[in-house]
């Protein structure tokens, strides 16, 4: 009889192992995969396809800069899905991530239907077999679904994707393209014929976000926040929270600003706190966590080492210069000059920019004057780099440095050429008008296309942080945020009360 119980116990044990919930198996496997990816054991690379679930599906697809999306529905326990994954990844590496060969065109994603959190999501798309792939514009997936008997649908089933070659061939047919699995980065690029066209600057909103995120990643990775740089970073965060062209970055900058004293108290550097590496700071994504990063759209160069971050940072600075009010012009000048001087990691560039800042002897009273100074300084940088790149052959052949703006974009900006000085004579009123339109309304127009701007053409109160003279100090900045944004009101008021309770009260100048 005891032997019967023994056999029965073994049988029940086997059944319990076989019948373990798919979600628990999924969690174990995802943990193992994460460990392997972090350790890069066996030379494996991280997945290129973006893992989605019901909690972030709509957000990621709504915010991606990509024009199209492929969504693969699979089950982690499915042998066919495991065998198909290398094929899907071969295609995903062409379009996804920082090393993408053809970034910004297609977002390749996957959803695990064996995870309980995704059950309703997979039902909405009538997933009847694994793997099952869908194609469409990313926005068409948001809050949507798919039915087999639908006569018209903006979402299509990818019906020939058994191998990487077949999937890529299917994509090429849809796009009229000729992408290949052997394409290398920046080869066979389909760059815009005129990336300086006003229509293209709207896409730079993603590059401004990318540049902002990259800048703060560099600051945190290199532990550049120190007692002597603390005040300059606070000023720059104040500027970003009020005037960044991206609502995501305004929100993230405000959250960082409100939390700054808790994250970096004045005794931070005299204690062991800096050894903790502040996971809370690492998790604070200054321009949002749901946007797939690794794309350069407007600022994409034809060579790996050109444009990108530096271009995105210049676009950010110009966009800030045309959004400020007259009373903020000197503050903005100081905030930008101090930020570049303390946090820009390219030493030669940093020194050149600091010299241009130091040469300014007058106080900026008008936003127009500061915007024109920044524009003139950028042209001086381009003039210097034109000569260096020509002599060394390091420039981007498709995007050589040039004097901005070119005549085809703003013919009215040009008065003529001073033959004696061999310099362009500018109509600065027209230049300022162009800068305001190009880096202001046109740059942010993509938000309007995505219904982020209200029906009256203005941004909602929860998105726009009104700048006031209170921006001079952290407490004032928090108050400005509270007045202009209900979303940050509670946090800002709490932060302000915390500041008041500390003795003596600190004021940053």
Q: What is the mean pLDDT of residues 175-199?
A: 67
CA 37 – CA 34 distance, rounded (Å):
5
Crossing angle (nearest 10°) for helices 367-392 and 347-358: 140
What's the Cα-to-Cα distance from 109 to each of 130, 167, 177, 209, rounded to whole Å? Answer: 15, 14, 20, 21
CA 64 – CA 450 distance, rounded (Å):
11
Structure tokens at 170: 């299917």
* pLDDT tens column, 417-437: 876 767 899 999 999 999 999
**pLDDT band for position 413 (cuts 50, 70, 90):** very high
What's the pLDDT score for residue 152?
Answer: 81
50-52 β-sheet, strand order: 50-52, 106-112, 68-74, 132-136, 156-157
Give the mean pLDDT of the chain. 77
Q: Which residue has the higher pLDDT, 506 or 70?
A: 70
First to last CA, the chain: 86
What's the pLDDT score for residue 280?
Answer: 58
What's the pLDDT score for residue 54?
Answer: 95
Q: Which residue has the higher pLDDT, 63 or 507?
A: 63
Residue 200 has pLDDT above 50, yes or no: yes
Q: Which residue has the higher pLDDT, 271 or 180?
A: 180
Share of the chain above pLDDT 90, in %: 43
Distant-in-sequence, close-in-space partners of 420: CB < 8 Å, separation ≥ 6: none
Q: What is the mean pLDDT of residues 36-44?
A: 40
Q: What is the mean pLDDT of residues 452-465?
A: 35
- Among candidates 116, 121, 142, which has minimal Cα distance to 59? 142
Structure tokens at 73: 């529905």
Which domains does the chain carry?
A: 22-175 (3.40.30.10), 198-495 (1.20.120.310)
Q: Which residue has the higher pLDDT, 199 or 95?
A: 95
Q: What is the mean pLDDT of residues 49-63?
A: 92
What's the pLDDT score for residue 407?
Answer: 87
Please check whether residue 219 is in contact with residue 343, taking contact to mean a CB–CB distance below 8 angstroms.
yes
What's the pLDDT score for residue 220?
Answer: 86
Q: What is the mean pLDDT of residues 449-456?
A: 42
* pLDDT tens column, 57-95: 998 998 888 889 999 999 999 999 999 999 999 999 999
**pLDDT band for position 467 (cuts 50, 70, 90):** very low
Q: Which residue has the higher pLDDT, 289 or 421?
A: 289
For the question of residue 81 being annotated catalytic, the response is: yes
Residue 445 has pLDDT above 80, yes or no: no
Q: What is the mean pLDDT of residues 484-497?
A: 44
Catalytic residue among 13, 18, 19, 81: 81
* pLDDT tens column, 107-166: 999 999 999 999 999 999 999 899 999 999 999 999 999 998 877 889 999 999 999 999
Q: Residue written as tokens 């109160």? A: 461
Please check whether residue 316 is in contact with residue 208, taking contact to mean a CB–CB distance below 8 angstroms.
yes
Residue 259 has pLDDT above 90, yes or no: no
**pLDDT band for position 338 (cuts 50, 70, 90):** very high
Stated length of the chain? 509
**pLDDT band for position 393 (cuts 50, 70, 90):** confident
How far from chain centre, in Å, is Cα 165?
31
Catalytic residue among 13, 18, 78, 113: 78
Max avg pLDDT among 392-401, 441-450, 481-490: 392-401
What's the pLDDT score for residue 201?
Answer: 79
């Amino acid at each position: 009889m005891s032997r019967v119980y023994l056999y029965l116990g073994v049988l029940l044990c086997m059944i319990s192992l076989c019948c373990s919930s798919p979600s628990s198996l999924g969690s174990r496997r995802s943990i193992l995969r994460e460990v392997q990816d972090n350790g890069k054991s066996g030379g494996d690379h991280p997945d290129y396809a973006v893992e989605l679930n019901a909690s972030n599906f709509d957000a990621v697809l709504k915010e991606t800069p990509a024009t199209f999306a492929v969504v693969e529905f699979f089950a982690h326990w499915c042998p066919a899905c495991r065998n198909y994954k290398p094929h899907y990844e071969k295609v995903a590496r062409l379009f996804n991530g920082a090393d993408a060969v053809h970034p910004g065109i297609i977002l390749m994603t996957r959803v695990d239907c064996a995870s309980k959190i995704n059950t309703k999501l997979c039902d909405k798309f009538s997933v009847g077999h694994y793997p099952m792939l869908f194609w469409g514009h990313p926005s068409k997936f948001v809050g949507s679904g798919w039915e087999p008997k639908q006569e018209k649908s903006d979402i299509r089933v990818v019906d020939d994707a058994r191998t990487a070659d077949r999937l890529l061939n299917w994509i090429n047919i849809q796009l009229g393209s000729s992408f290949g699995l052997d394409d290398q980065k920046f080869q066979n690029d389909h760059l815009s014929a005129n990336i300086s066209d006003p229509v293209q600057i709207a896409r730079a909103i993603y590059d401004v976000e990318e540049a902002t995120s990259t800048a703060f990643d560099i600051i945190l990775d290199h532990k550049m926040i120190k007692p002597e740089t603390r005040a300059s970073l606070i000023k720059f965060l104040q500027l970003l929270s009020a005037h960044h062209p991206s609502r995501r970055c305004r929100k993230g900058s405000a959250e960082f600003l409100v939390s700054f004293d808790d994250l970096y108290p004045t005794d931070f550097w005299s204690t062991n706190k800096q050894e903790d590496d502040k996971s809370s700071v690492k998790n604070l994504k200054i321009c949002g966590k749901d946007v797939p990063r690794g794309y350069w759209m407007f600022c994409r160069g034809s060579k790996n080492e050109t444009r990108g971050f530096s271009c995105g940072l210049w676009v950010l600075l110009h966009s800030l210069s045309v959004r400020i009010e007259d009373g903020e012009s000197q503050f903005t000048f100081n905030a930008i000059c101090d930020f570049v001087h303390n946090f820009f990691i390219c030493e030669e560039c940093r020194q050149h920019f600091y010299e241009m800042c130091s040469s300014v002897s007058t106080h900026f009273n008008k936003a127009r004057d500061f915007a024109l100074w920044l524009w003139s300084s950028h042209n001086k940088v381009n003039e210097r780099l034109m000569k260096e790149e020509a002599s060394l052959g390091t420039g981007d052949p498709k995007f050589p440095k040039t004097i901005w703006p070119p005549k085809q974009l703003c013919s009215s900006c040009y008065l003529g050429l001073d033959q004696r000085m061999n310099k362009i004579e500018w109509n600065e009123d027209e230049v300022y008008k162009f800068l305001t339109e190009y880096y202001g309304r046109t740059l942010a127009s993509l938000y309007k296309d995505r219904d982020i701007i209200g029906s009256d053409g203005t941004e909602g109160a929860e998105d726009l942080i009104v700048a006031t003279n209170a921006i001079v100090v952290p407490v004032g900045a928090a108050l400005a945020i509270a007045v202009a944004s209900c979303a940050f009101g509670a946090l800002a008021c709490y932060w302000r009360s915390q500041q008041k309770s500390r003795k003596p009260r600190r004021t940053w100048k």
